[in-house]
Amino acid sequence: MGRITLDKVTKSFGDVEVIPPLDLTIEDGEFTVFVGPSGCGKSTLLRLIAGLEDTTSGHICIDGNDATNVPPAKRGLAMVFQSYALYPHMSVRKNIAFPLRMAKLPQAEIDKRVEAAASVLNLTDYLDRKPGQLSGGQRQRVAIGRAIVREPAAFLFDEPLSNLDAALRVGMRLEISELHKRLETTMIYVTHDQVEAMTMADKIVVLRAGHIEQVGSPLELYKEPRNLFVAGFIGSPRMNLIEGPEAQKYGCHTLGIRPEHIEVSADKGPWSGVVGVSEHLGSDTFFHIQNTGLAETITVRADGEVGFRHGDRVHLTPREDVMHRFGADGLRMA
């Protein structure tokens, strides 16, 4: 079981308040991702849940029990660190067994669980190696193995993939997702990468400067960003934000339209501009259109086959049904 509730939790370092009063509930079995730009307090929040930092005020409950003042060792949570934090002087086997040894489990039980975890994570052949002899992806697996053997109430991941190269990152992303499907244990995952957030999460918590900007499923955040910050943060490439007379035409202060919701053509459309840089990904092409009179550039996603060139004059048609309208206060208008 792993239902975690944060009740008016705050955190200050000296006079600096990094987390203003914050409420959040993470349901049992949920895969929750904390996402936000660096310095938004997402890692601090995770460390508060882990017990590696004290809350300044407020309460943290795990499965209904107040854990605010419980030391990290007694919270029944497991954590995977950004640097993996493997014990370099212990073999893979000993690394994975360490939490069980600390829990004073009988040796036979320890061996059984370590073997089981190793086979799940494809580490059986490496059990007697030292972490220094493993590749980045294998180290990551050992760190996960060390977390799962304890059968914790919840897993905490602190940017676990940021030290891996791009190809491995995609693979590990899938492995962690699969692990979640199989274990059905609560997972809290911190990242600055919104792609990771979108692809893995049941629930995304978007943070900025310690504030929760929005909580919701990936699609909710994509379809109905509550404010300009979330609108700009979720989705790649970023949503186009248009101010001025064009926005007023739609009765808002800022008009948001995602690149994939604009159609580009040579001759027809209400907006027009000149093709600047175009990025060809094969399946898609991103055009950065300049001189539209709407914003500095408008990004448009088109099919990979569409072949406009630098300097071509093009016309744009936004899909009005998926436009996002924001008021002067930055909030989404109904």
Residue whose C-alpha is closest to residue 105's, from 118, 114, 116: 114
The edge-to-edge listing of strands for the beta sheet with 240-243 is 240-243, 254-257, 324-326
Q: Min. distance of Cβ 159 from other proteins in angstroms? A: 11
> Interaction with other proteins in 126-185: which residues (CB under 8 A)?
146, 150, 156
Pick the closer one to other proteins by CB: 30 or 53: 53
Q: Min. distance of Cβ 154 from other proteins in angstroms? A: 11
Is residue 54 at the binding interface for other proteins, with CB under 8 A as the rule? Answer: yes
Pick the closer one to other proteins by CB: 81 or 286: 81
Q: How far is the C-alpha of 36 from the C-alpha of 16, rounded, in Å?
A: 19
Is residue 248 at the binding interface for other proteins, with CB under 8 A as the rule? Answer: no
Q: How far is the C-alpha of 21 from the C-alpha of 65, rounded, in Å?
A: 20
Is residue 53 at the binding interface for other proteins, with CB under 8 A as the rule? Answer: yes
- Spatial neighbors of 175 by CB under 8 A, at least 6 apart, are 141
> Segment contacting other proteins (CB under 8 A): 51-59, 108-116, 200-208, 241-249?
51-59
The amino acid sitting at 267 is D
Instruction: Count interface residues toward other proteins (CB under 8 A).
Output: 28
- Spatial neighbors of 7 by CB under 8 A, at least 6 apart, are 23, 58, 59, 60, 61
Pick the closer one to other proteins by CB: 62 or 79: 79
Residue whose C-alpha is closest to residue 159's, from 188, 187, 190, 138: 190
Q: Residues 63-92: x/- map of binding to other proteins (CB under 8 A)?
A: --------xxxx--xxx-xxx-xxxxxx--
Question: For binding to other proteins (CB under 8 A), which residues are involved?
Answer: 50-54, 71-74, 77-79, 81-83, 85-90, 98-99, 102-103, 146, 150, 156
